[in-house]
Chains A and B, each alone.
Chain A
């Protein structure tokens, strides 16, 4: 049997469980033997585990293609069999899930390799070797959980992966739980992890409600069963409820308004984590969920519209904030939120292919951007390190913190003209930027264009979505242009920027792969006859998709907007580069609007005022007033304790001493007195005893005589 025969016969589908088990094996090896292995070996094991999962994904996709995209389910283990609830751990291999598998394992593997280089420097910075191993254990666990998520055959299995990746996200955001991003002792990262976890908890609660409602109404959680039942008896009210509850979960996991606030803080995690989890894969789980649940969303238009509007509003809202940020990763974080908004808007308008297309393309270029940003940050860090050594003040890494002035290697205001020091990173970053900005012919151009086109075509059903997205696209190009000008052009604003150093090949080579994908990723689904590859591929799963030809109007408008935005950014940031200490030029031009952008529209403060402060006040009230003062001091101490004391005193004195003891005393006294009187009979005088004998004789004789 040769390879193609094996593929056609469906033999490879039985490999599906290895999607999960390769990463699990990798993490087990690292957990058990990692302590004795070198950094390189640990990283290699983890990368190989992820790479093996990628190979399995490729084989699955190849086999699926060989069987013409027919849905394959691979039963693996019995899970829950309770009454009506029959759930097994089954792997679902269809065209949608294979796309996700390929993206997750492909991008994931590249990021694993990159992380070997990145974490090495990070580790050396903090001098903790054990952390290195832990990091890769978490990364592999994340890959495994993500595979469970995308390969699950039921909503509950999906939820398992959903929670698993949430856990990994929490663990990795707070990876440096004892240092902040600047290397100072702080619990800020742990706080950020907590924030992400709690925000996701709100979303997961909604998702759980959706699962409960689904089971209550349809009696099953298996995808096909639910969709068939929904198609047979579409009950708009119930399905609306399910889809909207699900939407809450989507807003949590995919960082949409109003639950997006955790994602910017999640940048506290190491940069590979930001790239992998908080840009490329985990945050797209919400988009995947909506696409997966397409048969439900297509039933109720209102729910779809809400989804689309939330996506569009998020896209614009996050883009405005991204304009006002100075931290290189924060810009990308808000950009990610914005792009996720694009995807959600796309799937909301029913453009599932466009959504998934943008998901994949975004995974490529946003991972590229994040990793390049990590490279920039490490380059700055190296420059800083070099300076500290060059001046010969202190040999140790903490030297530069002692003067009280903290250097932030991620702040774009500290950079400038880095293309001279870091040329490779510059070109890579530029590729990612152009892809994100949507410049022809980069991947982002094709995917974003398709979303805009869908939104435009369905404008009568989804009013407003197109315009929101178009403005967001304009802002996207603007803030990316701003970033390029600020980071790589102009004059060095600090000494450190002058001494920044290029990153090693282990970091830049994976980036080149990603850059290649970012440039040519559009080929997945070109809007020309015969090139709708992704669309046809996904048709196997989500049904027929209209092949949209290239609409020159929409494409032209968006390209024009992008170019205009980049030109505008050149005018503001490129022509007259801002000097060290100079405020952002936009600040003068926009005034309070820029202040709002700069401060994220005070959303965090608003949440703090509206949700957190009242919650904390309530908690304080509950703990101090209700629990302590009322329950403890008053109820327990005064009422229960007092009553008990009184009762005990009452029982002991009047009852026990007065009644029970008196009765016992009286009984004892009675016995004593009666025995004392009886004792006199036992007087020891033998004559008395004889007398009583005589008395008995007389009495008995008398009785016999007179009876």
Chain B
């Protein structure tokens, strides 16, 4: 069973990241935007694990562990924010949350 180049994984990671970024930019639904952010984090994780595997090191996997922790915390706070905003705005459309405009 032959190995494959790590570049494939990095390429896949890139594609997933770009899709996530696009999601952040084009969707107005705050939940979808969050999901896209998660997708981007996952793309990053995949690249980490790929490199760790290619270099036979475990540090990459440890980093992924930390990233997952941060992601979990971020989602907890982020979703709490969304709930709080929804309570006052009755909407999860980020385009309606623009009180900070100049």
Contact = CB atoms under 8 A, between A and B. Distances in A.
A678 B28 CA distance: 24
B102 interface: yes
A281 B28 CA distance: 121
Interface in B17-56: 21, 24-26, 28
A686 B102 contact: no
Contacts of B101: 679, 682-685
A549 to B, nearest CB: 127
B5 interface: no
B25 A685 contact: no
Interface stretch (B57-65, B67-75, B91-99): B91-99
B100 interface: yes
B102 A685 contact: no
A691 interface: yes
Nearest to B28: A687
Nearest to A682: B102
A690 interface: yes
Interface residues of B, number: 13
Interface in B77-102: 94-95, 97-102
A690 B98 contact: no
B25 A694 contact: yes
A679 B102 contact: yes
A702 to B, nearest CB: 15
B21 A694 contact: yes
Nearest to A680: B102
Contacts of A690: 24-25
A687 B102 contact: no
A690 B26 CA distance: 10
Interface string A680-707: 1111111100110010000000000000
A678 B25 CA distance: 21
Given A694-B21, A694-B25, A687 B99 contact: no
A691 B97 CA distance: 16
Contacts of A681: 102
A679 B98 CA distance: 13
B13 to A, nearest CB: 15
Nearest to A697: B21
Contact of B95 (A680, A682, A685): A685
A680 B101 CA distance: 8
Interface in A660-681: 678-681
B24 A684 contact: no
Nearest to B99: A684
B98 to A, nearest CB: 3
Q: Across the A-B interface, give the 6 residue pairs with the lowest CB-CB distance, nearest first.
A: A684-B101, A684-B98, A682-B102, A679-B102, A684-B100, A683-B101
6 contacts: A678-B102, A680-B102, A682-B100, A683-B98, A685-B101, A686-B94
Interface of A: 678-687, 690-691, 694
Given A685-B95, A694-B25, 10 more contacts: A679-B101, A681-B102, A684-B97, A684-B98, A684-B100, A684-B101, A685-B98, A686-B98, A687-B95, A694-B21
